[in-house]
Each structure stands twice: as structure tokens, then as C-alpha cells.
Amino acid sequence: MDTERQRKEAIVRRQETSFFWALIHVLGSLELAILLLATIALVCAVATVTESNFSTRVAQHYIYKAPWFNLWLTVLCVNLFAVALTRWPWQRKHLGFIVTHAGIILLLIGAMVGKEFGFEGSVTLNKGEPAKNRVTIPRTIFQVESPKDAAIYTHPLPVDVRPPSPEKAQVYPLPDTPVRLRVERYSEHLVQGTQLAPSRDGLPGLALRLSSGSLKRETMANLVLGSPETARFDFFGLALVEWVEGLSVPKPQKKAPDFFRETQMILAASPETPVVHNAGGAASGYRVLLEPDETEGRWKVTVVSPAGMQGSWPLPESLKKTRSLSGDPVEVVVEEFWPDFAMKEGKPVSLSAEARNPAVLVNLKGPRPESGAAANRPVFQLAPAGPDRVRYHMLRNGVVYGKGELAAGETMATGWADWQATIVKVLPQAALRPQVAESPDGEGTPGIFVRLIDRKKQEGEAQWIVSGTAQALEMNGEIIRIGFGQGVQVLPFWIRLDDFEVPRDEGTDTPSDFISTVTFEQPSTGRKLTATAHMNYPASFPGGFWRSCLGQNYKFSQASWNPENLNETTLQVLYDPGWPLKWFGSLMICLGIGIMFYFKPYSRKKPPAAGAPPEKIEKDETPVVV
Amino acid sequence: MKRLLLFSGWLSLFLAAPAHAVLESDAFARLAVQDKGRKKPYTTFARESLQMLAGKAEYPTPGEGKMSAVEAVTSLWLRPSDWEKRPVILINYLPLKEALGFPKEQKLFTYNQIVDQEAFRNLYAETQKLRKESANPTLNRMQKEVEQVAKRLGAFEGLVTGRAFAVVPHPSQPNGAWVTVDQAASYYPGGRAEKLQGIFADYREAFLAGKSGEAGKSVSALAAEAALLSPAVYPPARLLELEHFYQGIHPFRLAWIAYLSAAIALLATTAWKTAAGYRIGWVLVLAGFFLQVSGFVCRIVISGRAPVTNMYETVIWLAFGTVLFAIILEAIYRGRYFLLAAAPIAVVSLILADNTPTVLDSAIHPLVPVLRNNFWLSTHVTSITLSYAAFALALGLGHIVLGKIAFGKSGQNLAVLHQYVYRALQIGVLLLAMGTILGGVWANYSWGRFWDWDPKETWALIALLSYLVLLHGRVAGRWGGFGLAVGSVLCFQTVLMAWYGVNFVLGQGLHSYGFGSGGFRYVLMYVAAELVFVGVAVWKAKWAPGLKERPASEAEIAAG
């Protein structure tokens, strides 16, 4: 007890005599520890609510991954380190305490190492695609090519957490040039369209707006004379808008009927992937299904026309007989039926009479289905009629049912539901220019709206840059190329998807696992490895036990899939050199807490007798370690 | 002893209750159905289907008493036209009933009543649109409820069209899709299907004629014939029977009855026949614990995984853990309080699990792919939920301390109770730290990162930090044993947030397989009640000088 008292006195004394020890005792004070623990808990609670109300990226950007939060964690590290020092010289009873605190420090250092020297990203792979070595980092950036030496510079641009707006534009300096980049807008719904622009050697052009009040939709038709591609606008397949030199009524054409002849082979096990062979070229669009016949306990063949006409015939009675669909001229002949299909010596055979793997071969013959429908579509024909004026008429089946003249800015009803047409612009000499615009119906890709500015606040022309592309921007004769998109990390090896499987829960479509088989290839070492990544079991490259322990492996975990494309898989990529520190720190924390609570020499009073009323114990026994 | 006798009498009453349906349902237990990705006894299928449709285990028919789940579901199958006019689809959410113009008091509605409502169709179209736009849309409560009702409508359609009754096994693949009796010929040509269909026709006839004896025989024959068609694929009879047994005896219900009796016995004998009451309490707690363990064993055998995969299972697991730690600590300290603290908590959680089927779904479903790993399930999830259990025990002990202060006489010495609270907190902190770290290691493999501030991760950390503040504050002398008791109640609210709140309130993040809805108002009421209780106790402690705690003195620190 005497040495114990001496130790305590020494600890008190050194704080009075040495500034270093006084500082250590302040930094390692319990008060500071409690303050840190409580504030971190509180901040985290606020962050989860922020995440729920805004988005994960916002919570990460402003709180979890913000510099001040990291600073706070660093202060926690310092506090943990200092508090361990305050107990110096350590004694046996401090073992658990030291191990725990050192474990937390190691864990936090591991996290910082991982953040600084490792990376997290994702890569989407498709079966049959060439190998990739580029991984997407979940962070948006812009890249600029230096006008001096064509070197590429990358700068973070967190548009998804801090979207720029015309009022809150973001200005970034560019390397090797006095002009700067101003990011004015961010949109997630950009689509590629066209724009009607004056052109000295162009032909007459028309910009027409079609809008529907009840559907709250509008669409632009930008047309230029010269070719059917630029002078025609297909209105959702329901009608046709034509921009012509002069109005005319086309004679109803008598085309020679276009016939097709098609063979389809269908396995009942994979109804979505028929083997189609069409003698005339493109597939006819008829669907053939092989299904169990509910009433007879047999199988039946069903043929569905593109227009939705349907016919079903039982097997094997309908074999080799010509059948047709009601209201459709197609002829259907079921050539073969194999109840238990297999390929033997290159020939299809049935292994048995039992319906284990039914398959069917069907021949289809008939006129091409599209030719009939298109002729009935209404046609809205417009022709130039002097400056800013057009003449129009509406046709159906070669009959004019409405006509008139419109000036720019005027609107007319089309007679197609409540759609209205507005003449926006008529140009005597025009050309179509590709143009990126925001889509009104919430589809498309992300992009930024930027322009160059100089010190005198002069502005260059603004442009959209779609994610994953680059644009040349001009200012005072200087041309600067700017790219925008997700950050990219280049791996020192290549990865290719060999196979992707999605096993399902029995009798349902619910996935029970996702299994990607990938091949890694490292040209520099010649190392090649085929591995599988499935849920909970990542694929590692270059692989090996020690690399895994030391965090030197690239880990590919199954991250997501595309239910509509089963050849596509997305893998999460992790390279984390901080891993051993995290792992070892974690182990120390658990061990340390265990030692602290359960393997500590502290004097316990004799336990109270069984069932005795506990009120007899006088002293608060809650142990306190110092 | 008298008490024990009384209790066993009570038990047998309980077991006897469903006896009237035994004959037929036993025959049905051997008939397997492939449903929602799993093969299960027809009895379970019926119970889950009715639970899904009506939120009830039995269907109340006006004037005719109650229909068992098997009766109701079989009737839906074989006599579908009867059900056009029977209200069987549950709508539980008041604003939805208001939106559809339905009476507030009514809970069950007919299929046509709902489907004919244009308002419902519009609401459903809205959720479908959101689902189309994004893979993980954020739905509000109304939209979630609408989807739930749509699921019930779908389940109803599956039953009345007979589509849901996939009782004919796949001929070869263990994971292949099963078909209905009508479609049997597609798998079993050459007369084998006809035999099965013949037996089924007999059954249908007997059922429609109301001859229950013959119907029972036909069901047994049907099950035997179906098993014979594909013996390798058909689940073994003993597994089907085990599940039927498990569903029939309600082990967790029996367990809460035992725990409740234990709590009553312990409370009633605090001042009278103390030793005898203590012994009875022990016996009852051990009996309840044994029942719970048996229930878990059944569930593990049936599902083939650790029983901690959804909210229902974790609530039961919490009761189990709380009692487990109470038994261990009580065996060491013999202070009576551990049992007294644990029993009410176990009772409350087991009653909740037993009686809120729409919030806590007791059905065994296949797991989402990421959870299909027994190693991580049985390390990470069990240690996390066991830590919640230890904190719940600390909460119970804290309640005893605060209760004694708020309602007891002054001048008591509660030091030993404070130590008990501390013991429970220690277990919780160790397990929560371990569980959270194990979660990080698991996430490193399954999601490809150790820690990324997912809401569940973050709230586990917040809970851990709040308990660390509690323990460090104690070391710093900011508060004493009374502070620990107050803290054990307050900090448990962070556990509640990590456990219930993230899944049911925030509904964000990667732990999405546990998400659900319902019960929010009651949880809020509980939290408010706890705060009031703590407030009263603190106020009382301040005003009654005899009770006032002092922080640990320098001398005590030196002694430590």
C-alpha cells in the first residue's frame, strides 16, 4: 500500500513541477473524454437524422467525412493516448485499460491509413465485354486539360451534395490560364436532342412545339428540309409530322406485300430466349410459348402476334398441321416436339417420353405485320410560306381534313387528343445542331452547366457537359477542354466477367445469392487468376493469406445487379492497407474490455449468503479503476 | 408446492385449448406446400396465409364461432365463391380507411370492396410508379400500408384461384418449383398424376359434403401420394411434424406465462415466506427458460439458422438473453433482484411478440442473400442482441432502484443493487463492443468496407458511446450508483433507437432487410413514460436527504 501511495503522490507532484505532465493530465482528463464521447454520440445522432431527411451523401459530406469531424476523432485519439500516459508507471491492474485504449487508437489509425492510402470504388462488368482496369470512385470530379502542356488536372466537384445554382454558382481556378470555370447548374436528367440554328448554306427549317395540357407533357420537333431524317418527326408512333417544300397529297401506294418466313425453337425451361431464324432478315416479332396445358395435363403451343392476337394448340395433336391466328394472316406449323430435349451427335432428340425438358420447333409464314398499321396514321404536313409563316394541312388515308396558315408564335389544335402545335421558329436557312437539354420527364443522365469567365467578369458561352464526357469551352479565343464525371481509379491489373449467376429461392423469383465468376490478369507479373465473388465471400487479387492479413489484396464484393440484364453485375472494390491495424485494434478492444471487467485483481468482500436480504451490505461496491 | 400444482393445471388447460381441431390438422401437417420460397406443412401455410390476409390466427365468422386457419384457408381453396362476400382482408391503418371512405371501426373488408375503390387503385398506382422510378424508393406510411393491402389482395387471389396451393413436388430438383394438383400431369405424365388427382377429388367431395372423417383420411392419402411422387424432394415427415408441433404448442407463450408466474411469486413473497417464494421463483424462471430454449431448438432445426434474423426473433431473443444473464448473475449473487428484474422484461417482450403479428411477423421466411451466413449471424447478430438483453436487464434493475426511491421509504441502502446494475452494464458493454466490431468485419467481407456510417452501425456506436459516458462519468465521480441506475434507463433509449428506431423510424441504410412499420406511437409513449418515471425518481432523490447519493470520494478512488 505504501508503494501505491508513493505512486499516487508522484503522479500528483509531477503535474505541479513539469509542464509536459500537466499538459498530459489535462489532455488525458476524464472530463475531456466524457465531453468527446458525448459530443460524438450527439453529432452521430444528428447525422443519422440528416441522412434520413436528405441523403447519405449529404450526411457524409457535411458530418462523417467532414474535416472537423475527423479533427474531433483525432482529439479523441490524443485523449486516449494521454489518459494511458497519466497512469504511468503502469501496474498490472492497468492491463485491460491500456490494451483497450491502445486498441481504439490502433483502430482509428487504421481507419486513417485506409482513407489516405486505400480506396473504395465500384466496377460494373458485363459478360462478353473486354476486361476492365478502371474502377469508379463514388465522388464527382471535373478534369481540365492544361492549355500549356496538355497535362490533365483533376478537381473534386461534389455537385450531388452541394448542387450549384445560378444564384450560387461555384467558381474554380484553372491551371496555366487566367480564365476560371464557373459551374452554374447541375441536373440529373439531361438528354441529347437537337436545336434549330441559322446556317448560311442551309435549307428552310421549322421549330414546332407539341404540348398537351392534360398529360402535362411537351415535345419539340426541329425539322430541316433536305432528307427524310431531318424533315420528319414521328409522334410517338401515332402520327407523323412532315416538313415539306410544298403541300401535297401522296397517292396511296400499292406496295408488293412483304413476306417473311421464320423458324423458332423454344425450350419450356427458358421461354425468354427462343432461337429465332428469319429468312427475310429482321425477326417478325411473333412470340411462341410452350406451356403446360392446364385442362388436359399435356403441353400446348401458344403464338402471340405483335398486335396481341393469340392462338393455342395442344401437343402432339397439332404436329405438322397448318394453323392460323384469327384476324391475322400468319401460318403456323409445329414441326417438332421433344418432351425430353437433348442434343445428341449434333442432332436434337428426345431422351424419353416424359416431359422433363420439353422443346418445340415452330415455322411461321406470313406478310410482315408492320406494313398495314402505318398507312392509317394521320399526317401533319407543313411547308414554308414566306418569312415566319407556314402553310399546313392534316391528312388521313390520303384525305385532307384540315388546312390553314400560321405565323411564328401561333398555336393550333391538332385534333390528336388535346395536343396543340405551336410554331416556335421558321428559318429560311437552317441546320440542326446537337444540343443537350434537361428532360421534363425525369429521365436521362447527370451533367453540369458551365462557362468560362475572366477577371473582368466577362463571360464565355455556357454549355452542358454530360457526365462521362468532355467539352471544349471558348473564351477570348482560348479553347479549354473540360470533362466531368465520376472519379476513376486505375487498377494495376485487369478484370473480366466470365459468368454471373443468380440462384433463386425455390419456386420464386427472389434471388438467394449472386455469384460472379471473374478472371484477373496482371500484365506486369503475368499473374492470372479466376475467382468467384458471391454474397459474403469476396474475390481477392492477387490473393494469398499474408496479403489478405496485411490488407494488400484488392477485394471484390458482390454489390448490386440489374434484374433486367442478367449478364451484368456490379462489384464493390476495396483496397485497404489499414486493415491489419483495424483488425488488430478491434481484437485488442474486445480483449481489453474483457480483462478490465473480469480479470482484474480487486478485493471483493465476502458475497452475501444465499437468499439473504441484500440490505445488509453497507458499502457501494461498484469498482472504480484508476 | 401448491402453487406449482396450480400452475401445471393452468398449463394443461392451455394445451387443451386447440384440441377440437387436432384430428384434421394432424393429417394436414404431413401435407407439404411450397410457399414463399420454402416447403412447409399445410398447417403452417394456412396459419401464415390467414395471418397475412386477416392479421389473425383464426377467422371469426358471425354467428358460427371461429374458423381455424386450416378450415378457413381450405374453404378459400375449395369453396372460393363463399368468400366473395366475406370480409377477410385487413386494413389496419386509419388514414387509409378514411381515404377509402370505409368505416373506422371495421377491420376486415371483402376483396371486391377494396378492389372496386378507385381511390385504392389510384393510391396503388402511385406506389407502383415510385417503384418503377427507383429501385429503393422512400415510401411514406400511407404508401407502405397500401402496398401491404395490395399484397393481401394478391395473397387472396392466389388462394381463391388455387394457384397458391403448390403441393405437387418437383420430380427431381430440390429447389425446383412445385405445381398445383391441376398441373400435376406436367411433371408426372403416364397416370401417376391421375392417381393424385383422384385422391384430391375424393377429398374435395368429402370436404364439400362436410364429412370431416373421410376428409381427414383423404388428406392423409394425398400427403402420402405426394411424398411418393418425389421422395428425394419431399420434406421428411418428421420435419413437417416437428414444425407442426412447434406451431401448435406455442413454446414462447408458455414461457411468458411461466415468467409472469415467477414475477408474481417473487413479488408476493418479498415480506412473507421469502425463502419459499425465492425457490418457487427459481423453478418457474428455469421452467420458462427451458421452454424458450426448446422453442429455439425447434426453430433452428426448422429454419436451419440462428434465430435472430428479424424483429420478431430478436424480440424473443432479448427475452432469452435477459433471463440467461439473470440466471447466471443470480446464481453468483443470490440477491433475488436479477430474477425480479428480468422476468417482467421477458414477459413484456414475449407478449409483444405473441400478440402483434402485423408488426412482428412470426413466420419463417427465407433470408436475403447477405444474411445467409450462419457464422456471422450467430456471432455478430447474437452478440449484438445479447448486449441489448444485458442492457435490458440493467434497465430492469434500474427500474427497481428508481422504484424504491420514488415509492419506497427513505433511508434505504441500495448499494448492492447499484452493484448489480453495474454488473449487467459490464456484460452489455463488452458484448455491444464485440458485436459492433464483428459487424464491421462482416461488412468488410459482404459489403466491401469495414465501417461507413450506415445508420445501424452509427446507432450501435451511439448506444455504446452513451454507455461509455455513463461508466466514465461514474469513474470521474460525476455520479454514483444512483446515477448508474438513472443512466441504465436513459441509455436504454439509445438501444431502442438502434434496435427499433433505425428499422421502423429512420428506415434508411443497408440493414434494410429488417425494416418494418408500426408501433411507433406506443414506443413514443413508452419513452415518455420512462422519462417521467426517471424525473419523479430524481426529484424524489433530491428532496429526500436520506436517499441523496454522494459521488465517490477521493478515499474510495484510492481504495479502488
Q: What is the pLDDT of residues A127-174, one digit of tens each?
A: 989 999 999 988 889 999 888 888 888 888 888 788 888 888 899 999
Judge: A508–B36 Cβ closer than 8 Å, yes or no. Answer: yes
Q: What are the tens digits of pLDDT across the range B168-194?
A: 999 999 889 999 998 998 899 878 889
pLDDT of residue A264: 83
- CB–CB contact A623 B370 (8 Å): no
- B25 vs A141, higher pLDDT: A141
A341: DSSP letter: E
Residue B481 is nearest to which of A511, A613, A622, comparing CB atoms? A622
- Cβ distance B448 to A573 less than 8 Å, yes or no, reads yes
Residue entry with cell 427465407? B366
C-alpha dihedral sign at B233, B234, B237, B239: positive
Please list, in sequence order, all residues whose beta carbon lies within 8 angstroms of the beta carbon of residue A225, skipping any fewer than 6 positions away. A203, A204, A205, A231, A243, A244, A245
Mean pLDDT computed over B310-334: 95
- Under 8 Å between Cβ of A299 and A358: yes
How many contacts (CB atoms, under 8 Å) link A and B?
A: 241
pLDDT tens sequence across B79-109: 998 898 889 999 988 999 999 999 999 999 9
One-letter amino acid of B215: A
For residue A41, the chain B residue with the least C-alpha distance is B462
Task: Give yes or no for residue A443 having a pLDDT over 90.
Answer: no
**Can you give the pLDDT at residue B7?**
43
**Residue in B187, B445, B453 closest to A536 by CB:** B445
Q: Does the beta-carbon distance from A31 to B189 stay under 8 Å?
A: no
CA A583 to chain B, closest CA, distance in angstroms equals: 8
Q: Do B335 and A608 touch (CB under 8 A)?
A: yes
Residue A612 has pLDDT above 50, yes or no: no
State the Cα–Cα distance between residues A465 and A185, nearest whole angstrom: 11
Among residues A575, A141, A45, the alpha carbon closest in space to that of B453 is found at A45
How does residue A374 score in pLDDT terms, banded at 50, 70 and 90?
Answer: low
* pLDDT confidence band for A600 (50 / 70 / 90): low
The pLDDT value given to residue B325: 97
* Cβ neighbours, 10 Å, residue B542: 10
Residues A569, A535 contacting (CB under 8 angstroms)? no
Output A123 or A378, whichever has higher pLDDT: A123
Res B447 pLDDT > 70: yes
ipTM field: 0.85
Band the pLDDT of A346: cuts 50, 70, 90: low
In chain B, residues with a C-beta closer than 8 Å to the C-beta of A555 are 444-445, 448
Per-residue pLDDT band for B159 (boundaries 50, 70, 90) equals: very high
Asked if A34 lies within 8 A of B334 by C-beta distance, the reply is no
Task: Encode pLDDT of A18-74 as tens digits.
Answer: 899 999 999 999 999 999 999 999 999 999 999 888 888 888 888 998 899 999 999
Dihedral sign computed on CA atoms, order B436, B439, B441, B444:
negative
B-chain CB neighbours of A559 within 8 Å are 447-448
- Between B453, B465, B497, which is nearest A60 by CB? B453
What pLDDT was estimated at residue B179?
A: 93
Is the predicted pLDDT of residue A275 greater than 80, yes or no?
no
Chain A residues whose beta carbon lies within 8 Å of the beta carbon of residue B334: 607-612
Predicted local distance difference test score (pLDDT) of residue B287: 96
List CB contacts (< 8 A) between A442 and chain B: 133
CA of B312 to nearest chain A CA: how many angstroms apart?
A: 22
Q: Do A513 and B372 touch (CB under 8 A)?
A: yes
- Of B443, B370, B462, B374, the C-alpha closest to A579 is B443
Highest mean pLDDT among A27-31, A457-461, A561-565: A27-31
Q: Look at residue A301 in the predicted model and tell me its pLDDT.
A: 85
Q: What percent of chain B has pLDDT above 90? A: 59
Inter-chain CB proximity A353 and B189 less than 8 Å: yes
Q: Is A38's CB within 8 Å of B465's CB?
A: yes
- How confident is the model over B416-445, as a mean pLDDT? 94
Tell me which chain A residues have a C-beta less than 8 angstroms from the C-beta of B129: none
Q: Per DSSP, what are the bridge partners of residue B108?
A: B90
**B334-375: pLDDT as tens digits:** 989 999 999 999 999 999 999 888 788 888 999 888 888 889
Whole-number Å distance between alpha carbons of A204 and A386: 10
**Which chain A residues touch B335 with a CB distance below 8 Å?**
608, 614
| DSSP code string of A518-530 | EEEEETTTTEEEE
Q: Which residues on chain A are in Cβ contact (under 8 Å) with B494?
A: 41
Chain A residues in contact with B478 by the CB 8 A cut-off are: 34
C-alpha cell at A377: 396514321
pLDDT band at A615 (very low <50, low <70, confident <90, very high): very low
Going by pLDDT thresholds of 50, 70 and 90, the confidence category of residue B22 is very low
Q: Which of B178, B278, B497 sits opposite A611 (nearest CB)?
A: B278
Other C-beta atoms lying within 10 Å of the C-beta of residue A8: 14
Residue A606 confidence (pLDDT): 43
Element (H, E) at A390: strand A389-396
Pinpoint the alpha helices (H) of B334-362: 337-355
**pLDDT for A281:** 60
Q: Do B448 and A49 touch (CB under 8 A)?
A: no
For residue A434, name the pLDDT band (cuts at 50, 70, 90): confident
Residue B14 confidence (pLDDT) = 41
pLDDT at residue A392, rounded to an integer = 92
pLDDT band at A441 (very low <50, low <70, confident <90, very high): low
Does residue A110 contact residue A454 with C-beta atoms inside 8 Å? no
% residues pLDDT > 70 (chain A)? 89
Min Cα separation A512/chain B (Å): 5
* pLDDT at res. A234: 83
Q: Which of A94, A624, A625 has the most B C-beta neighbours within 10 Å, making it the best mutation to test the interface with B? A: A624
Bond before A89 cis per omega within 30 degrees: yes
Question: Which residues on B lie below 8 Å from A514 (Cβ)?
Answer: 369
| Confidence tier at A543 by pLDDT (50, 70, 90) | confident
Residue B445 and residue A576: Cβ atoms within 8 Å?
A: no
Q: Could you tell me the three cell numbers for A610?
A: 444465499
- Asked if pLDDT for residue B245 goes beyond 70, the answer is yes
Query: Looking at residue B423, what is its pLDDT?
Result: 94
By the 10 Å C-beta count (0-12 exposed, 13-18 middle, 19+ buried), B323 is classed as: buried
DSSP letter (8 states) at residue B369: G
The answer to whether the Cβ–Cβ distance between A608 and B416 falls below 8 Å is: yes
Please tell me the distance from the alpha carbon of residue B58 to that of residue A266, in angstroms, as a whole number: 46
Cβ-based burial of A603 (10 A; exposed 0-12, middle 13-18, buried ≥19):
exposed
Per the DSSP assignment, residues forming a β-bridge with B427 are none
pLDDT at A601: 58
B230 or B552, which is more confident:
B230
Residue B210 confidence class, pLDDT cut points 50, 70, 90? confident
Question: Measured between CB atoms, which of B369, B475, B497 is closest to A512?
Answer: B369
Hey, are the CB atoms on A355 and B558 less than 8 Å from each other? no
Distance CA A291, CA A282 (A): 26
Selecting from A298, A535, A607 the residue whose C-beta is nearest the C-beta of B446 gives: A535
Lowest mean pLDDT among A345-354, A410-419, B20-29, B417-426: B20-29
Do residues A592 and A97 make contact, with C-beta atoms less than 8 angstroms apart? yes
* Contact across the interface for A47 and B458, Cβ inside 8 Å: yes
pLDDT tier at B256 (50, 70, 90 boundaries)?
Answer: very high
Residue of A215, A254, A618, A235 whose CA lies nearest to A418 = A215
Q: pLDDT digits over A523-540, tens only?
A: 999 999 999 999 999 999
Mean pLDDT of chain A: 84
Of residues B279, B285, B298, B233, the one with CA closest to residue B257: B285
Mean pLDDT score, A516-522: 95
In the predicted structure, residue A306 carries a pLDDT above the cut 60: yes
Give the residue from chain B lying closest to A576, CA to CA.
B449
At residue A254, the pLDDT reads 55
A392-397 mean pLDDT: 84
- Bridge-based pairing of strands A379-384 and A239-243 is parallel
Q: Which of A7-16, A289-298, B294-303 has the highest mean pLDDT?
A: B294-303
Residues of B in contact with A507 (CB under 8 A): 34-35, 37, 166, 176-178
Long-range contacts of B209-216 (CB under 8 A, 24+ apart): B212/B23, B212/B24, B215/B24, B216/B23, B216/B24, B216/B27
DSSP string, A11-35: HHHHHHH-HHHHHHHHHT-HHHHHH
pLDDT tier for residue B24 given thresholds of 50, 70 and 90: low
Reading the block at residue B1, the C-alpha cell is: 408446492
Out of B133, B448, B461, the one facing A559 most closely (by C-beta) is: B448
**What cell does A106 get?**
490502433
- Torsion-angle region of residue A55: left (phi > 0), alpha (psi -120 to 50) or beta? beta
Minimum CA–CA partner of A119 in chain B: B449
Strand A119-126 versus strand A411-413 pairing type: unpaired
Distance from CA of A213 to the nearest CA of B (A): 20
Decide: A421 and A380 in contact? Cβ < 8 Å: yes
Rounded to a whole number, what is the distance in Å from the CA of B300 to chain A's nearest CA?
A: 19
CB contact (8 A) between residue A37 and residue B465: yes
Give the integer Cα–Cα distance in Å for B410 and B414.
11
Of the given ranges (A282-286, B41-45, B306-310), which has the lowest mean pLDDT? A282-286
Residue B220 pLDDT more than 70?
Answer: yes
Q: Look at residue B398 and tell me whether its pLDDT is greater than 90.
A: yes
Q: What pLDDT was estimated at residue B550?
A: 46
**Residue A295's pLDDT is what?**
62
Q: Is the pLDDT score of A101 beyond 90?
A: yes
CA distance, residue B479 to nearest chain A CA (Å): 12
pLDDT at A609 over 60: no
Mean pLDDT over all residues of chain B? 87
B437/A586 CB distance under 8 A: yes
What DSSP character marks residue B503?
I
**Do the chains contact at A506 and B38, CB–CB below 8 Å?**
yes
Which of A177-191, A441-455, B210-224, B241-255 is least confident?
A441-455
